[in-house]
């Protein structure tokens, strides 16, 4: 079966986001951008399923600017077989993203679509669930284990309070949580090989999707700053401070 | 505006996260609740007593027993024909169901709102809480998830909601529940605890976590938490994790012990009323947000604290 893996180009997770002084957003000029970490886990999981003989082909797809091609090349270097760049300079919302992925799923007929549970920029945590609704497929979100067995997949999910396992009929949607796997680094030979792997470029219009935002960002501001309090000299002073605010056994 | 609030429950009691969602919904208009599950009469009754509740829709059906979104989302979408907003707590259940509902309604969901600024205007964290966006929806209906720590909890008594059975929906036949490993503990839940004692990588082992962190939590009747580093190192199960990718907490007092204070961790606990940090590295970023900081060897200081408090 084919596996479709959407990937997003986002501000690198090690870079501290800075709010622009005009309050229109976060400054992305001249900062390091990388693949959304949850999507990297998605690519890795797809590769492992291919290595187990479950998957036959891995298609990475990204909706974003021309530079998102770099993110797709990273996916190809890790082990994806081909890539689709749906090029747009607009900030595409999860609802429209899901519509684009639905159109691609209709064309490619994957057995699984593996997405990151959220992108670390918008923190929406929506696209996978929305795609599941649009395709009418089952969803295994926040996955920490994925096991394909015949025409179904068992997904262990990280839920509040512990873990839960669901069995889903294929085709299905999986969204990744952090502990699903540890993504590999692309080797130099594979980075070279990735340059010649197929990468198609499309636009949202090719899939008939209108990406006009439904939600307007009125402004973006810094979160309230929490200031440092006092350093206490020893445990006795800490106990006294805590007792003063009513904390004691 | 008529809102429909998802009632999160464990089959017998309404979970606290629901109460914050009720408060958020009450800022938008009339509050209706949805109780879905198998054998949920008791939950429905408790839900009807939540202050300010108008109607309680009860969908009692084996297909709704394990919150499978494939079965629940069509039920919610049906009910949304007569409601203007679907409001769910931003728990793993709410996050699983709400976007599926939003897509069925062709609505762009607004996730983890922190405040209601207007009928269609909300604030929400982006970039792990490093920025706060004020956003306005242009959709005819709203689908929202609520960050529980940002809203007061509605009172669990004083309401007199009218219970109404819903017969719609059933098993979509594409998913089934296999099992769950939910840790049972005699402690408050992390997301509703008044005091949390969290340990980090500096503990060095699972044994040390048990030896140093647990007794302090026991003494204070506190919930247990951990940094991602401690979870990844296997000191504690992953549901202990506080942070951007774990639980978002805001207790009265948060003890960060042997936790350096990475951005990801701070995103999960910086709204705590009082933060206490114990760390031997005086330059640890945790001290920049701590109300009371103690630079000390945690293996000496914490047992002493447990003994003296």
* CB contact (8 A) between residue B253 and residue A245: yes
Environment class of B110 (CB within 10 Å of its CB; exposed 0-12, middle 13-18, buried 19+): buried
Q: What is the pLDDT of residues B179-220, one digit of tens each?
A: 998 877 778 888 888 999 999 999 999 999 999 999 999 999
* CB contact (8 A) between residue A161 and residue B131: no
* CB contact (8 A) between residue A223 and residue B219: no
Long-range contacts of A166-170 (CB under 8 A, 24+ apart): A166/A138, A166/A140, A166/B66, A166/B68, A166/B175, A166/B176, A166/B177, A166/B178, A167/B175, A167/B176, A167/B178, A168/A137, A168/A138, A168/A139, A168/A140, A168/B174, A168/B175, A169/A138, A169/B173, A169/B174, A169/B175, A170/A1, A170/A111, A170/A112
Which of A116-120, A179-183, B97-101, B244-248 is predicted least confidently? B244-248
Parallel, antiparallel or unpaired: strands B223-226 and B131-137: unpaired
> What pLDDT band is residue B245 in, cutting at 50, 70 and 90?
confident
Distance (Å) from the C-alpha of residue A53 to the closest C-alpha of chain B?
A: 24
* CB contact (8 A) between residue A133 and residue B288: no
B133 neighbors B38 (Cβ within 8 angstroms): no
In this model, does residue A228 exceed pLDDT 90? no
Strand, helix or coil at B219? helix
For residue A227, what pLDDT is reported?
Answer: 81
> What pLDDT band is residue B238 in, cutting at 50, 70 and 90?
confident
* CB contact (8 A) between residue A235 and residue B238: no
For residue B189, what pLDDT is reported?
Answer: 84
pTM score: 0.93
Distance (Å) from the C-alpha of residue A192 to the closest C-alpha of chain B?
A: 33
Distance (Å) from the C-alpha of residue A176 to the closest C-alpha of chain B?
A: 12
In this model, does residue A119 exceed pLDDT 90? yes
Q: Give A213's contacts in chain B (Cβ within 8 Å).
A: 108
In this model, does residue A248 exceed pLDDT 90? no
Quick one: average pLDDT of A154-169? Answer: 94
> What pLDDT band is residue B264 in, cutting at 50, 70 and 90?
confident
* CB contact (8 A) between residue B129 and residue A223: yes
ipTM metric: 0.95
> What pLDDT band is residue B174 in, cutting at 50, 70 and 90?
very high
* CB contact (8 A) between residue A249 and residue B220: yes
Distance (Å) from the C-alpha of residue B30 to the closest C-alpha of chain A?
A: 23
| Residue-averaged pLDDT of chain A | 96
Q: Give A230's contacts in chain B (Cβ within 8 Å).
A: 291-293
């Amino acid at each position: 079966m084919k596996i479709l893996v959407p990937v997003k180009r986002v501000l690198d997770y090690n870079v501290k986001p800075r709010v622009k002084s005009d309050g229109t957003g976060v400054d992305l000029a001249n900062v390091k951008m990388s693949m959304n970490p949850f999507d990297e886990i998605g690519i890795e999981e797809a590769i492992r399923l291919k290595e187990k003989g479950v998957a036959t082909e891995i298609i990475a797809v990204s909706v974003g600017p021309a530079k998102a091609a770099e993110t797709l090349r990273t996916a190809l270097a890790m082990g994806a077989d081909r890539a689709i760049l749906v090029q747009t300079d607009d900030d595409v919302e999860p609802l429209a993203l899901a519509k684009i992925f639905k159109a691609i799923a209709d064309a490619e007929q994957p057995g699984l679509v593996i997405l990151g549970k959220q992108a670390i920029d918008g923190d929406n945590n929506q696209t996978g669930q929305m795609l599941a609704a649009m395709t009418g497929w089952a969803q295994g979100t926040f996955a920490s284990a994925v096991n394909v067995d015949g025409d179904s997949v068992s997904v262990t999910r990280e839920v509040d309070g512990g873990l839960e396992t669901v069995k889903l009929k294929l085709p299905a949607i999986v969204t990744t949580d952090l502990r699903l796997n540890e993504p590999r680094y692309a080797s130099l030979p594979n980075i070279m090989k990735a340059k010649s792997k197929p990468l198609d470029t499309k636009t949202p219009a090719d899939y008939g999707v209108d990406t006009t935002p439904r939600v307007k960002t009125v402004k973006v501001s810094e979160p309230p700053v929490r200031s440092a309090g006092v350093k206490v000299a020893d445990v006795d002073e800490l106990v006294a401070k805590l007792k003063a605010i009513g904390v004691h056994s | 505006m008529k809102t429909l609030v998802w009632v999160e429950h464990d089959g017998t009691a309404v979970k606290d996260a629901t109460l914050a969602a009720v408060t958020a919904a009450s800022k938008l208009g009339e509050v209706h609740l949805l109780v879905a599950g198998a054998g949920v009469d008791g939950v429905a009754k408790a839900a009807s007593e939540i202050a300010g509740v108008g109607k309680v829709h009860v969908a009692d059906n084996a297909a709704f027993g394990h919150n499978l979104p494939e079965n629940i989302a069509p039920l919610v979408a049906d009910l949304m024909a007569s409601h203007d907003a679907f409001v769910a707590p931003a728990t793993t259940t709410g996050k699983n169901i709400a976007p599926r509902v939003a897509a069925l309604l062709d609505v762009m969901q607004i996730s983890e709102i922190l405040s209601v600024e207007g009928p269609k205007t909300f604030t929400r964290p982006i970039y792990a809480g490093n920025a706060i966006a004020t956003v306005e929806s242009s959709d005819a209906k709203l689908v929202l998830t609520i960050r529980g720590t940002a809203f007061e909890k509605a009172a669990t008594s004083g309401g007199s909601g009218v219970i109404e059975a819903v017969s719609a929906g059933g098993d979509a036949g594409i998913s089934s529940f296999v099992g769950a490993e939910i840790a049972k503990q005699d402690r408050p839940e992390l997301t509703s605890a008044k005091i949390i004692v969290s340990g980090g990588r500096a503990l060095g082992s699972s044994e040390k976590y048990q030896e140093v962190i647990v007794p302090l939590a026991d003494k204070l009747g506190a919930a247990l938490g951990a940094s991602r580093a401690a979870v990844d190192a296997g000191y504690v199960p992953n549901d202990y994790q506080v942070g951007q990718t774990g639980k978002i907490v805001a207790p009265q007092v948060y003890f960060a012990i042997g936790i350096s204070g990475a951005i990801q961790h701070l995103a999960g606990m910086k709204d705590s009323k009082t933060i206490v940090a114990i760390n031997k590295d005086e330059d640890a970023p945790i001290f920049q947000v701590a109300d009371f900081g103690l630079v000390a060897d945690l293996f000496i200081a914490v047992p002493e604290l447990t003994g003296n408090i």
